[in-house]
Structure 1
Amino acid sequence: MDEEYDCIVLGTGLKECIISGMLSVSGKKVLHMDRNKYYGGESASITPLEDLFTKFGLPPPEEAYGRTRDWNVDLIPKFLMANGQLVKLLIHTGVTRYLEFKSVEGSYVYKGNKISKVPADEKEALTSDLMGMFEKRRFKNFLVFAQDYKEDDPNTWKAMPGFDPKTTTMSAVFAHFNLDKNTIDFTGHALALYRDDDYLGTPAGDTLRRIKLYSDSLARYGKSPYLYPLYGLGELPQGFARLSAIYGGTYMLDKPIDEIVMEGNKVVGVRSGGETAKCKQVYCDPTYVPDRVQQVRLEIIFFSFHE
């Protein structure tokens, strides 16, 4: 560790691993360190199963669980939209060479004592058992409008005279297509993925983009808009870690970070125990420098005082 690096990255969350991967690809000598045992820290994928039981102070798992290395638990599971920005980044950087994904079934709702798949395109809208015959036609027309919608092309708004994505509310759009409350509910929460109904009073542009993303993601692989790493979300940062390693990056997990070494107002290294790695730049999770940051919208900072 007692070497000099161009950059040191602290923390192995997804953002940090993307940064170290991109820096390594660009030719920088990178050291990546994490005080945690797992990639991703508190939201990590934990495997084998013994580690999960240990984390929560439980006795070792019984034999009935089978091979514990076959288990994987994500502490904060999140699906990836198949046509979202993150998947596009994974494909663009080539990290998908080190990852395997599986397609997750689409969104479902519970209605009338049965579970039904949420329709995501006009074909599914016409066969869904969530709506009556006339409502299906109205919802089909709405989906065609949403799928054709382009914010920078007013010609795609003609199905709704007077529509403006920056001023027309989403409730007005639903009213124009005469959709009932049940249809509005699963559209807003299962397609646009809103947690509450506040979006109904906001400009419709963002909601239409969300619905279009859902539809485009569904079309990408045919069965579901959702993807998930085969061995858990921890595979995402590990994939970028492998990318970094191929280009010469060095990784150290379970490594305490005792001090970010400064000379005047300039960062010059990171100390761990009796070792100090010198560097020109430090990228880190804000929790590594709580006395130098304040909470803002961004969750990662660029920490550098070099001239």
Structure 2
Amino acid sequence: MAMGSVSDTLWDVVICGTGLQQSLLALSLSRSGKNILHIDPNDYYGGAEAAFNLQEAESWVDRLATEDKGFFRSASITKPDVAGLSFPRAYSLALAPQLIHARSELLSQLVSSRAYRQVEFLAVGSFYIFKAPSGPEQQPSLVRIPSTREDVFSTTAISAKAKRGLMKFLKFVLDYDRLEQRDVWKTFAGRPLVDFLQEHFKMDAELKTYIITLTLSLDGKITTEDGLSTIYRHLTSMGHFGPGFAALYPKWGGISEVAQVACRAGAVGGAVYMLGAGIKSMATATDEVELELTSGDMVKTKLLVRGNESVGDGPSISRLVAVVGSPLKSLFKVTIEGAPTPCVAVVALPVGSLTTCGEANTSPVYVFAHSSDTGECPKGQSVLYLTTMATSNSKEVLSRALESFLSAMDHDQVPQCLYQLYYEQAAGVKQSRLDELTIDLPGPSLSLSMDDLLLKHVREAWKKVASDTADDAEYMIFTDREPVDDDDELE
């Protein structure tokens, strides 16, 4: 379609923003035959889930300093005076480095819609706990968390008594939703999971930390109901697509890559894409919305779908993205025969394990370590994504966490940090809003793993757009556009 005809067309739907939800909506409508215009005020894809090379990251930070970018604030870049950083396009730093559990509904939809063929998924490996030195002669260390029965049997990190307790808990979780097991935990449902672990399983502080780390709870206060559900997903995801891993990470920038693949499917289906075109003003008539775009175009549509840009009332997170001049090989070892080499490792620095200005950290810090196999940095380097709850001193906490993590990796030759990007991100509104002419999708999730609740809102939007052709049973289920040799293990 020629650009001149953008203003001449009455669009079935205008989708504003190329974040994950809007992009998945474009994917879901890619075979619908609808007239779709997909715009984004940014000059890049992905919205709050974008991935940037170093030059793009610098431009983003500069823009944040001069204009309100909604969810993001306090962004800064630090480049230590050391050699080793490669050229800007050798990096792809993700704003939303979320893990996707193998049992995630997102993966099911990418498989059924055939979009997964365009994404290269990599294995997420082990979870570790950082242990601070207990005395002046001690060194910090990382302890691998056993999260399968085989792991528990073989670990030497915990006592025989603790092993029995952990085994009992893992067995309980696999049946937690059965009627007889529900009676055991339902009185704890809304209380913190740590209370349940303490009172019912008599777990010590160390074991409780292992379990909470598997939930990736940012404040460590996840409820018993949510915690059991999250650990159940982790345990049942283990081995689903192959031995030794429970979660996946998309190569080249994580969730950003999924959003771009979904947009490509929308384009193949006939959607028209315009980057650098936001909504300057809008007016609603009886059965259509008229939009003036920042590009100068006037556009009419039967329905407008956009992401809610309002900041929600939830807590914010602080994130530090660090490029390190070491492959950190010890983190990415294969632990089970036949398993793929992992490209992501998860490390938790628990509450109280760091001291900054005389104060201990009150929330855990999570480090997602990414090897160069993710395509996010050159060979011989790694990217670290550190996340914690935002507080008045969370920037210092993350800086201390980075230092502590690197010293635990190698006491004699601490890996060098080559680059740091710091920013804070506020929570978005969690509910969608639908009326006759507009749909506002919820803000992006701050969760460290893919939140399948977001997919429910995408499905609701799809039903409204495709109302005359919508068949729930056919949602996101497409045949291949052309024959392929199908030997993919995701099938």
In the TM superposition, what whole-angstrom CA distance separates every residue of 1:226-252 from its partner, at most 9, and x where no partner exists?
322101132111111112122211111
Q: Structure 1 residue aligned with 2:100, among 73, 77, 80?
A: 80
Q: Secondary structure at the match of 1:106?
A: strand
> What count of residue pairs does the alignment treat as equivalent?
286
Distance of 2:83 and 2:262 partners within structure 1: 34
Moved more, 249-258 or 271-280: 271-280
Q: Which residue of 1 is the match for residue 216 of structure 2?
A: 193
Choose which of 250, 258, 271 in structure 1 pairs with 2:272. Answer: 250
Distance 1:280 1:118, change over 3 A: same
Does the aligned pair in 1 maintain the 2:19–2:48 contact within 8 Å? no
Query: In the alignment, what sits opposite 2:335?
Result: none
User: Deviation of residue 257 (structure 1)?
Assistant: 2.2
Name 1:291's counterpart in structure 2.
none
State the 1:173 CA deviation: 4.8
- Which residue number corresponds to residue 205 of structure 2? 181
Alignment-derived partner of residue 30 in structure 1: 36
Structure 1 distance, partners of 2:78, 2:148, is: 48
Q: Name which of structure 1's ranges 230-239 and 105-114 shifts more when overlaid on structure 2.
A: 105-114
Q: Is the 8 A contact 1:283 1:301 kept in 2?
A: no
Q: Given that residues 143 and 157 in structure 2 are in contact (C-alpha distance below 8 angstroms), is that contact kept between their aligned partners in structure 1? A: yes
**Residue in structure 1 matched with residue 179 of structure 2 by the alignment:** 154
Whether contact under 8 Å (1:122, 1:140) holds in the other structure is: yes
Q: Which moved more, 1:265-274 or 1:15-24?
A: 265-274
What is aligned with 1:39?
A: 45
Q: What's the C-alpha RMSD, in Å, of the aligned pairs?
A: 2.9
After superposing on structure 2, the runs of 4+ consecutive aligned residues of structure 1 that deviate more than 6 Å are none
2:262 aligned with 1:276: no
Q: Does 1:9 align with 2:32?
A: no
Inter-partner Cα distance in structure 1 for 2:204 and 2:25: 46
| Aligned match of 1:71 | 91
AA aligned to 2:56 is: D
Q: 1:55 aligns with which of 57, 60, 72?
A: 60
* C-alpha distance in 1 between matches for 2:227 and 2:172: 12
- CA shift for structure 1 position 138: 1.8
Determine what percentage of the aligned residue pairs are the same residue.
24
SS at match of 1:198: coil
Mapped contact 2:101–2:247 kept (Cα < 8 A): yes
CA distance in 2, matches of 1:296, 1:66: 38
- Within a 5 Å distance, the mapping from 1:188-227 to structure 2 comes to 188=212, 190-199=213-222, 202=223, 204-220=224-240, 221-227=242-248
CA–CA separation in structure 1 for the residues paired with 2:102 and 2:15: 28
Partner Cα separation in structure 2 for residue 33 and residue 146 of structure 1: 44
Contact residue 24 and residue 244 of structure 1 kept, 8 A:
yes
The answer for the alignment partner of 1:163 in structure 2 is 184
Give the deviation of 1:116 after TM superposition: 1.6
Query: What TM-score comes out, normalization by structure 2 length?
Result: 0.53
**Could you tell me which residue of structure 2 aligns to residue 142 of structure 1?**
169
**TM-score, length basis structure 1:** 0.81
Q: Separation in 2 of the partners of 1:179 and 1:126?
A: 18
CA distance 1:186–1:59, shift in 2 (3 Å): closer
Give the aligned residue type for 2:34.
K
- State the one-letter code of the partner of 2:165: R
Amino acid of the structure 1 residue aligned with 2:51: S
Q: CA deviation at 1:176?
A: 3.1
Q: Distance in 2 between matches of 1:84 and 1:270?
A: 36
| Structure 1 Cα separation of the partners of residues 31 and 149 of structure 2 | 43
Give the Cα–Cα distance (whole angstroms) in 2 for the partners of residues 78 and 217 of structure 1. 16
Deviates more, 1:64-73 or 1:3-12: 64-73
> What corresponds to 2:257 in structure 1?
235
Task: Give the distance between the partners of 1:244 and 1:266, measured in 2 at CA.
Answer: 25
Which residue in the other structure is 2:437 paired with? 305
CA distance in 1, matches of 2:150, 2:199: 22
Maintained 8 Å contact 1:11/1:285: yes
Matching residue of 1:122 = 149
Q: Report if aligned partners of 2:188, 2:196 keep a CA contact under 8 Å in 1.
A: no
> Partner amino acid for 2:149?
E
Residue deviations 1:153-193 (CA, integer Å, cap 9, x gap): 325x2xx9x514355664345433332221012202x1122
Amino acid at match of 1:194: S
Letter in 2 for 1:297: K
Structure 1 gaps of 5+ residues are 289-294
Question: In structure 1, what residue type is equivalent to 2:225?
Answer: G
Residue aligning to 1:292: none
State the match for 1:91 in structure 2: 111
Task: String of CA shifts for 1:87-134, please: whole Å, max 9, x gaps.
Answer: 222223222122112112221102363212111111111222331112
The structural deviation recorded for 1:13 is 0.7
Contact map agreement 1:229 1:235 (CA 8 A) in 2 = yes
